[in-house]
Amino acid sequence: MERDWDLVERLSRLEDCVVVGVVETAAYTGLAPATLRGRGVKGFPTPIPGLRHLKWSLGQLRAWAKGTEAKSQVEVEVAPAPSARQSRQNRPAAGGASAKGEGL
């Protein structure tokens, strides 16, 4: 699915209190409508309750977009250095007991 940039531009001019549906939300966020309907995005705002169709306010979507943008920038800046992987033999046994069965 291609993004409707004209719709995104029109949405950017509207106030935060405007309520939009699945198609508009998909265009604004770049997510597929099926993903929004299935609510498969972790941390995505919940739709406005009490309505027959899925609707979100533009304020919710803008806050989510700013949060994900800031979060991705932090992850890039604070990315930990890769550590050496431990082989299965070098890892401590699960549950604190040794691999030989002591403590049974």
Stated pTM of the model:
0.58
Q: φ and ψ at 34, to 5 degrees?
A: -65, -35
Question: In this structure, which topology does domain 5-77 adopt according to CATH?
Answer: Multidrug-efflux Transporter Regulator; Chain: A; Domain 2 (1.10.1660)
The pLDDT confidence band at residue 35, using thresholds 50, 70 and 90, is confident
Nearest to 63 by CA among 86, 46, 83: 46
User: What pLDDT, in 10s, does the model give residues 45-70?
Assistant: 888 888 888 999 999 999 988 886 55
* Cα dist from 13 to 7, 29, 31, 84, 91, whole Å: 10, 15, 20, 49, 56
Cβ neighbours around 59 below 10 Å, total:
14
DSSP state of 21: -
